[in-house]
Amino acid sequence: MNIVLIGYRGVGQSTVARMLGERLPGWTVVSTDAEVVARAKRLISEIVKEFGWDYFRDLESAVCRDVAAGDRQIIDTGGGVILRPENVAALKRNGRLFWLTAEVPTIHARIGGDTQRPSLTGTKSFLEEIAEVLEARRQQYQAAADAIVQTDNQPLRLICERIQQQV
């Protein structure tokens, strides 16, 4: 079985995955975004700028299919992984999906200075984009999730404990 962390970018998937990896001997941490970057030999922002979001999503789907076949992995997914039902289906075959949540101001505070994240809308302010995209994806996250873990103002240790109790 795998632990799969889903949620909007900036809710803590990477940080939680790293800590869970330290807490669960014999488990491997895998980042779908890092796998896409390794395969494309380009940053996500470069992939999107050069080839577009659809191409990035195609790479992400291939990565999801491949990593989902593994076992005893903590899979840190990108925020849009739930946009394609085939990704969710692949990850659920051998995984329990944890939707990490945070409020818009928390997300903005966490990722506001990150210049490596390409715009998802291209037209809104960063804060407006977070609110709009998060709301648009909320039902997809909800439908994909086996469990929900709120990360606002929560110690990392407690977030990890909540996940471990449900595995």
Domains (ranges, CATH) in the chain?
A: 2-165 (3.40.50.300)
**One pLDDT digit (tens) per residue for the chain, 167 residues:** 999 999 998 899 999 999 999 999 999 999 999 999 999 999 998 999 999 999 999 999 999 999 999 999 999 999 999 999 999 999 999 999 999 999 988 888 888 765 555 555 566 677 888 888 899 999 999 999 999 999 999 999 999 999 999 98
pLDDT at position 107 is: 87
Neighbours of 82 (CB within 10 A): 24
Instruction: Give the Å distances, CA to CA, from 27 to 20, 30, 33, 114.
Output: 9, 10, 19, 29
pLDDT at position 117 is: 56
Q: Whole-prediction pTM value?
A: 0.89
pLDDT at position 77 is: 97
